[in-house]
Structure 1
Amino acid sequence: MPLIRNSYGKGRVRIMRVKRDSARHEVRELSVQAMLSGDFDAAYTEGDNSKVVATDSIKNIVNIVARDHVGAENEEFAGLLAKYFLDRYDHVSGVDIAATETKWTRIAVDGAPHDHAFVLDGNGKPFVELSATREASRLVSGVTGLTFLKTTQSGWENYVFDEATTLKPTADRLFATAMDASWLWSSVPASYPRANAAVLAAALKVFAGTYSPGVQNTMYLMGEAVLAAVPEVAEITMACPNKHYLPIDLSPFGRGFDGQVFTPTDEPHGQIECTVGRG
């Protein structure tokens, strides 16, 4: 029987890079997955491992490239890692790198960010995904679980109302989500960190400052704003689970609902997704 496709590699290679060539240190903590494809069929079909780069060696290469490039931004690091495999092993035809960052934020001491002390930033995990061959590459940056909320200027009205509908329309509700988003690069920005920050700033500005008739419309407007703000982004894909905050009925206790007390729940949740690109 034919072997249709195959790849292998090392996952969850955790690496902390500390750039300490000055008094102000930079930290980048990543969990990396490196997958190789190429002339490996014989390892599967015949048990011939003569061309297999051991997954332990793949882990060591991640560490080596990290040490050689402690100051590289995450997107650049992914490219350097893929290049190392493609340059070193002729029988490797493709490399897929996925790297998720654990974010650390500088501790503020007397109002000033400290040079070498950090606190864990729990909101959202940046990531990079790179698929590379010797001929071409595809680079995506993104964030998972970026959680944000607004307490008004959001509604849900004029939807299909039939025998299955129990949800009541409203022009004033809480809007909360934990967004997963990824953006495809069409060219290299002057700075990936500044461009990534601009992506999120443009999206959150729309979220905070625009009335939302529904998550769908808000996501589309956020995507439009991102493409206008960052010309190097070709398209952005977003998934926004609707984290519900349900009004609590306190009428049995002689208290009406005044938009102040809710029950948080995110199961089940609405799942809204879209991709916005350039025409």
Structure 2
Amino acid sequence: MSELSYARYGKDNVRLYKVHKDQETGVQSVTEMTVCSLLEGDIGESYTAADNSPIVATDTQKQTVYILAKQNPVTPPELFASILGNHFVSTYKHIHAAHIKITVHRWARMTVEGKPHPHSFMRDGAETRVVEAVAREGEGISIRSGINGLLVLKSTGSAFYGFHMDEYTKLPETWDRILSTEVECGWHWKKFAGLEDVRSVVPEFDAAWEAARTITLETFAKENSPSVQNTMYKMCDQILAAVPLTEAIEYSLPNKHYFEIDLSWHKGLKNTGKDAEVFAPQSDPNGLIQCTVTRKGKSAKL
């Protein structure tokens, strides 16, 4: 005999753009995001008995995203994700949990003739702001915020030495190397009792994103890094200190390698060690370093 052990369904890749128009100043602000909603609850019969009556259609979920976006602020995304999740578990009695993921796409205001333009924007990178919220009936709202796709590089100020060596080791130690990575960083908030609890700390969400981004960039740039492992731990530790409402910080950093090219075969041309100026960027394989740092006694589960 078999049994249904996991069931969750919803609408993915709901593209949403909202403009806020300040009638007094004429300044407009824009937000573009991609939303995913997944519901779970008393829906087993739709899988096992072909009974569709429990299904809140995925198109209904899509339309709900648009309607609630019209009726509510979509920024910060933590609030909008909580509004969506709370709606689904409070509107449908047989839905006991709603998983909402929001990816905010980057639009930066243009500077024209030395001044911020009131209604023109540009996409200045592939970096996204991400939020995952889970609203559970009777259990409150869990939120994870994060930064994805932030590509950074430093041409010096990174080393890697003193690592374990054995008969399989070919990598030489280095005290000066290029360091590049695509930042994936996330921070887990304390459990919120409900939507009003989320609303009470709305200013904290943007402030946390700014703090995490600044700490990531400044630590990366300033530190003479002994390893990616140690650098990412320091980033986590600083974010925990800067954002008291967080309980865990996590990073996943791929090491994007740039290899020296030995050009000595061509008329003794020096291009290694201190003379290295031309490198070959590598796509793969690459190192991948991850860690989660929590406050003592806290769990990082969402």
What TM-score, normalized by structure 1, do the two folds share? 0.96
CA deviations on 1:144-201 (whole Å, 9 max, x unpaired) are: 1211111111111111222211111110001100011111112736342222011111
Match of 1:271 in 2: 288
Contact 1:189 1:232 in 2 (8 A): no
Shift of 1:259: 3.1
CA deviations on 1:112-141 (whole Å, 9 max, x unpaired) are: 221110001324111100011122221010
Match of 1:170 in 2: 174
User: In structure 1, the residue corresponding to 2:125 is in which secondary structure?
Assistant: coil
Query: Aligned letter for 1:175?
Result: L
Match of 2:196 in 1: none
Q: More strand per residue: 1 or 2?
A: 1
Percent identical residues: 39
2:75 is aligned with 1:72 = yes
2:64 is aligned with 1:61 = yes
Query: Aligned letter for 2:88?
Result: F
Query: Aligned letter for 1:163?
Result: E
Contact 2:33 2:102 in 1 (8 A): yes
2:50 is aligned with 1:36 = no
2:106 is aligned with 1:89 = no
Match of 1:228 in 2: 241
Cα distance in 1, alignment partners of residues 247 and 58 from structure 2: 34
Shift of 1:266: 2.8
Contact 1:103 1:121 in 2 (8 A): yes
2:165 is aligned with 1:161 = yes
Match of 1:262 in 2: 279
Contact 2:263 2:269 in 1 (8 A): yes
User: In structure 1, the residue corresponding to 2:203 is in which secondary structure?
Assistant: coil
2:207 is aligned with 1:194 = yes
Match of 1:215 in 2: 228
User: In structure 2, the residue corresponding to 1:4 is in which secondary structure?
Assistant: coil
Query: Aligned letter for 2:6?
Result: R
Runs of at least 5 residues in structure 1 that lack an aligned partner in the other structure: none
Shift of 1:71: 4.9
Shift of 1:29: 0.7
Contact 2:20 2:29 in 1 (8 A): yes
Change (3 A) 1:228 1:259: farther
Cα distance in 2, alignment partners of residues 239 and 71 from structure 1: 27
Match of 1:3 in 2: 4
Cα distance in 2, alignment partners of residues 232 and 202 from structure 1: 17
Match of 1:252 in 2: 265
Cα distance in 2, alignment partners of residues 145 and 93 from structure 1: 32
Shift of 1:87: 2.0
Deviates more, 1:118-127 or 1:5-14: 118-127
2:253 is aligned with 1:240 = yes
Contact 1:18 1:70 in 2 (8 A): no
Match of 1:147 in 2: 151
Contact 1:100 1:125 in 2 (8 A): yes
The RMSD of aligned alpha carbons is 1.4
What TM-score, normalized by structure 2, do the two folds share? 0.89
Match of 1:138 in 2: 142
Change (3 A) 1:48 1:71: closer
User: In structure 1, the residue corresponding to 2:282 is in which secondary structure?
Assistant: strand
Contact 2:76 2:202 in 1 (8 A): no
Match of 1:114 in 2: 117
Query: Aligned letter for 1:90?
Result: K
User: In structure 2, the residue corresponding to 1:14 is in which secondary structure?
Assistant: strand
Deviates more, 1:189-198 or 1:234-243: 189-198
User: In structure 2, the residue corresponding to 1:225 is in which secondary structure?
Assistant: helix
**How many residue pairs end up in the alignment?**
279
User: In structure 1, the residue corresponding to 2:283 is in which secondary structure?
Assistant: strand
